[in-house]
Amino acid sequence: MRIRFIKASETHALRHEVLRPRQSMEEMEWPQDLAEDSFHLGVSIGGHLISVVSFIRERNELLRGWKQYRLRGMATHPEFQGQGAGRRLLQFGVDHLRTLKADLVWCNAREKATALYAKEGFLPEGVPFEIEGIGVHQLMFLRL
C-alpha cells in the first residue's frame, strides 16, 4: 500500500461508488475541493486507488480551535475494506495536519465508521443526526 497526495478529481470515482451512489458524478466535486488549503490523499495498490480522503480547512462553530480542518469523503473500495487502508490514510493525514500546525480535525462520521475514528482518538460531540439521503452521522473531532 502506497499513500500519496492526489488531485481532487481522483477522489470522485470512489466517493461516488462508496459514499454517494445515488448522486451523479458531477456532484462528487465539492466546492471546497480546490481551495488553496485543501489536500487530498489516496492509497494505491499496483497503481490503482483503493482508498481516498479529503482534508478541507473549514471551521465548525460547535468546536474550539483556531486552525480547524474537516476530514471529508473518506472512502475505501469494498474489496479492500477492513484491511487497514483507511486507518493508514487517516494517520497520514493527521500527521500532515500537525506539520501544518492545525489544532483540530473534525468530521461528520457515518454511523458505521465511528468505531474507526474512535480507535484513532476522535471523540464524539453532540448526538447523532441524519443527513437526508445519506444516513445517520456523528460529529467527531480530534485535538492535535
Distances, alpha carbon 54 to alpha carbons 23, 28, 38, 100, in Å = 18, 12, 7, 15
Count CB neighbours of 90 within 10 A. Answer: 23
Global confidence as pTM: 0.93
Task: List, in sequence order, every beta strand (DSSP E) within 66-134.
Answer: 68-76, 104-110, 123-131
pLDDT digits (tens, 9 = 90+) for 4-26: 999 999 999 999 999 888 888 88
Instruction: Give residue 136's pLDDT.
Output: 94
pLDDT, mean of each 10-residue run, the chain (144 residues): 95 92 85 94 94 97 96 95 94 98 97 94 96 91 98
Contact yes or no for 83/103 (Cβ under 8 A): no
Q: Is there a contact between 7 and 49 (Cβ–Cβ < 8 Å)?
A: no
Cell of 34: 480546490
Rounded (10°) CA dihedral 105, 48, 81, 85: -40
Would you say 65 and 143 are in contact if contact means Cβ atoms under 8 Å apart? yes
Using DSSP, state whether 99 is helix, strand or coil. helix
Q: For residues 58 and 97, what is the distance between their CA atoms, to the nearest angstrom?
A: 13
